Amino acid sequence: MRAQVLICPTITLRAYGHLCHTPRRLYRYGSSSQFLNLNLSRFSRRLLTSFFHMEFQSGAGSSGKKSMVENLKRYGVISSKRVAQVMEHLDRGLFVPAGSSAYVDTPVPIGYNATISAPHMHATCLQLLEDKLQPGMRALDVGSGTGYLTGCFALMVGAEGRVVGVDHIPELVDMSIKNIEKSVAASLLTKGSLSLHVGDGRKGWQEFAPYDAIHVGAAASEIPQPLLDQLKPGGRMVIPLGTYFQELKVIDKSEDGSIKAHTETSVRYVPLTSREEQLGGF
């Protein structure tokens, strides 16, 4: 099908607020209480208007995946060959609710006051963690949602690695397992190198720690200590920090256990909170 999309590299203009971003940042015009799992940065209204009329093909299956990845590459969001390959290999269409725009660069509500992040956020996090997602390495995905990014991690570390997804909504964990069972990552789930669990992601998942890579898909007010403890020396964590104003932080643990952090970009994520608060609308 042919999809109208705002390609202001590379986020859709939404009805509930004007949103636009460059490959590094995105800025939100207007007001909305909804959390979107997006990059945030300034962009002129004149460019918003011109980009609004651009289109790209967003078909089903392999053509849709290819269009999505090529679009992200074109605007500089994806520069890694490995990231491009894994995002084209794993079909995002299997991980969004039926009827959703799977290949347009926009977050999608998945129920339970949660979203699957926009593809540009998945690409950004995969690239930031790429060096820690080599074959045989271990990764933890906190707030694994429908399982898409968890599946990408699993494909990157391979059968000899170990990937753990954790979410505190049982229905989402059940959904993610079913999604992965339909995907190219199914064999990794069967072999046990990929697993998804119901739990409080703020506590990590001690059983398979330490992890070379930890991704947190919700914004915390501060880094949970259990996640720092479970990060392997030499490992890296990517986590959004903040409440209303949030930044995507890259946390590196040195071999001596010391921590270094830098800000990658401004973002807007759902809060990292309890199951009860999430279901109650924060």
What SS3 class is residue 30? coil
Element (H, E) at 150: helix 148-157
Closest alpha carbon to 3 in 117, 93, 128, 80: 93
pLDDT band of residue 17 (cuts 50, 70, 90) is very low
Given a contact cutoff of 8 angstroms between Cβ atoms, the answer to whether 119 and 92 are in contact is yes
pLDDT band of residue 15 (cuts 50, 70, 90) is very low
Question: pLDDT tens digits for 178-202?
Answer: 999 999 999 999 999 999 999 999 9
User: Region 145-174: what's the mean pLDDT?
Assistant: 97
Question: pLDDT tens digits for 82-125?
Answer: 999 999 999 999 999 998 889 999 999 999 989 999 999 999 99
Instruction: Give strand pairing partners of 261.
Output: 251
User: Region 23-44: what's the mean pLDDT?
Assistant: 39
Q: Between 119-129 and 148-157, two packed helices, what is the crossing angle to 10 degrees?
A: 30
User: Region 13-32: what's the mean pLDDT?
Assistant: 31
pLDDT at 127: 97
* pLDDT at residue 34 is higher than 60: no
> What percentage of residues in the chain have a pLDDT greater than 90?
68
Question: pLDDT tens digits for 210-267?
Answer: 999 999 999 999 999 999 999 999 999 999 999 889 999 999 999 999 999 999 999 9
* pLDDT at residue 11 is higher than 60: no
pLDDT at 55: 34
pLDDT band of residue 275 (cuts 50, 70, 90) is confident
- Annotated catalytic, 117? yes
Per-residue tokens: 169: 């909504």
User: Region 200-210: what's the mean pLDDT?
Assistant: 97
Instruction: Kindly name the residue from 58, 67, 101, 117 that is annotated as catalytic.
Output: 117
